[in-house]
Copies of this chain bind each other. A is one copy, B any other.
Amino acid sequence: MALVVKKFGGTSVGSIDRIKVVAKRIKTDWESGQDVIVVVSARAGVTNELINRARSLSAVPSDREMDMLLAVGEQETIALMAIALQSLGVPAVSRTGPQAGIVTDFAHTRARIRSINGGDIKERLAERNVVIVAGFQGISERGQVTTFGRGGSDLTGIALAAALDAEKCEIYTDVDGVYTADPRIVPDAQKIQEISYEELLELASSGSKVMQARAVEFAQKYNVTFEVRSSFNHNTGTIVKAEAPSMEDVVVSGVAVDNNQAKIVVRNVPDRAGTAAKVFQVISEAGVIVDMIVQNIGHEGKANLTFTVPRDDIYKAEKAVKQLYGDEVTLSAADEIAKISVVGIGMRSHSGVAAAFFAALAETGISIQLINTSEIKISVAIKPEEADEAARAVHDAFGLGDQPNGA
């Protein structure tokens, strides 16, 4: 029998009524002959409630106890989902992350999976049970409950699909799939039929938060094909899989907007070898992830260094640079910026993408502050208030609104 792992996020199981709807959907698939593993998140809002309770007791609750606390959210959902399925006549059993044999390292609140033995899931499936597994959680080799961080249930779904050799993994969410752009910004955005792991990762890192990046990387590493689709309708979603030759025909798969960046300019940096390395070393040690970087050609032994960081990390980044150079350098006030990216595997074999991108922005009078490129992505930093217009112009320029995109 075909084994399918189905992961439902917090909004998909957010209420008793939603749980009933999802249970009916699972029943239909189970009756059609599928062997089904269901991975569920905590009901929407529950994790935040738990965090608020912990914060009202301590400003810095220990990671270990936060994991013990947060794990209850998913444990509640698996039991409720099993009860909902049983009430429809579908045999179902729930399993916590530890019971599913999801073993992790010791990094509480951001644990990484070391191994999955599946516990007794195979036996329960063989008896035609639907097995419901708590997402987001595992057990350390010392027997402690661990969690994977926000969006960790995606990882549970993908990892179980890999470990138990599932035919397919379905990631159910509140959107229909991956789009060529955010439909709230670009009205004629199209759902993408197929996309490669790399493209999805680049879109995610550019602000299109469809899935946790770690889950996608895990899928790529173990070659797990998965589908992102909606739990609110029966539309087909977006298939995410290893790069296929046909994908290269599509030069640009999507346009992403990231409104959460800020630009820092450091002036009068000593213009000698190793300076950039030193700066980004201290910023990294402060736990800040730098995105785009530009270094001007120096004159009189000094250079200017421009880079972007998440807005929440501005203070940490500035502090790290000041500690390194003191008054020797001048820091500009951090400017909020938006990052517009185009992503596509086809860029590798098609030239002129950057030129077309920049031309589209120029035609709408939008000026570019920074440029950053990777093998399958081109990003520019612009003013936040021009982001939506830029996204629409670029989406148009690459013809993404014309027809369904993909292979």
Instruction: Verify B72–A54 contact, CB threshold 8 A.
Output: no
Instruction: Verify A68–B75 contact, CB threshold 8 A.
Output: yes
Instruction: Verify A99–B143 contact, CB threshold 8 A.
Output: yes
**Nearest-CB residue, chain B, relative to A71:** B75
A169 to chain B minimum Cβ distance, whole angstroms, is: 24
Judged by a CB distance under 8 angstroms, whether A80 is at the interface is yes
9-residue interface stretch from A56-64, A238-246, A379-387, A392-400: A56-64
Contact of A84 among B16, B58, B66, B87 (CB under 8 A): B58
From 68 to 88 in chain A, residues with beta carbon under 8 angstroms from any chain B beta carbon are: 68-69, 71-72, 75-76, 78-80, 82-84, 86-87
Chain B residues whose C-beta falls within 8 Å of the C-beta of A96 in the assembled complex: 68, 145
**Nearest-CB residue, chain B, relative to A93:** B64
Given the complex of chains A and B, what is the CA–CA distance between A61 and B71 in angstroms?
22
Chain B residues whose C-beta falls within 8 Å of the C-beta of A66 in the assembled complex: 79, 83
Instruction: Verify B83–A79 contact, CB threshold 8 A.
Output: no
Judged by a CB distance under 8 angstroms, whether A94 is at the interface is yes
Instruction: Verify A68–B94 contact, CB threshold 8 A.
Output: yes
Chain B residues whose C-beta falls within 8 Å of the C-beta of A93 in the assembled complex: 64-65
Contact of A65 among B20, B56, B57, B94 (CB under 8 A): B94
Contact of A75 among B62, B64, B72, B82 (CB under 8 A): B72
**Nearest-CB residue, chain B, relative to A79:** B69
From 338 to 395 in chain A, residues with beta carbon under 8 angstroms from any chain B beta carbon are: none
Instruction: Verify A78–B83 contact, CB threshold 8 A.
Output: no
Instruction: Verify A86–B71 contact, CB threshold 8 A.
Output: no
Given the complex of chains A and B, what is the CA–CA distance between A20 and B57 in angstroms?
7
State the interface size on chain A (CB cutoff 8 A): 36
**Nearest-CB residue, chain B, relative to A87:** B58
Judged by a CB distance under 8 angstroms, whether A164 is at the interface is no
Instruction: Verify B69–A50 contact, CB threshold 8 A.
Output: no
Chain B residues whose C-beta falls within 8 Å of the C-beta of A62 in the assembled complex: 82-83, 86
A326 to chain B minimum Cβ distance, whole angstroms, is: 36
Chain B residues whose C-beta falls within 8 Å of the C-beta of A61 in the assembled complex: 83, 86-87
Chain B residues whose C-beta falls within 8 Å of the C-beta of A19 in the assembled complex: 57
Instruction: Verify B72–A58 contact, CB threshold 8 A.
Output: no
Chain B residues whose C-beta falls within 8 Å of the C-beta of A68 in the assembled complex: 75, 78-79, 82, 94, 96
Chain B residues whose C-beta falls within 8 Å of the C-beta of A184 in the assembled complex: none
Judged by a CB distance under 8 angstroms, whether A272 is at the interface is no
A194-208 vs B, CB cutoff 8 Å, 1 = contact: the mask equals 000000000000000
**Nearest-CB residue, chain B, relative to A119:** B143
Can you pick out 8 interface pairs between chain A and chain B where the beta carbons lie within 8 Å of each other?
A20-B57, A59-B87, A61-B83, A65-B86, A68-B94, A68-B96, A72-B76, A72-B79
Give the 10 A-B CB pairs with smallest separation, nearest first. Answer: A69-B79, A58-B87, A72-B72, A68-B79, A61-B83, A65-B82, A57-B84, A65-B79, A57-B83, A72-B75
User: Residues of A at under 8 Å CB distance from B?
Assistant: 16, 19-20, 50, 53-54, 56-59, 61-62, 64-66, 68-69, 71-72, 75-76, 78-80, 82-84, 86-87, 93-94, 96, 99, 119, 143, 145
Given contacts A72-B72, A72-B75, 10 further A-B contacts (CB under 8 A): A16-B57, A19-B57, A53-B76, A58-B84, A61-B86, A62-B83, A66-B79, A68-B82, A69-B75, A69-B79
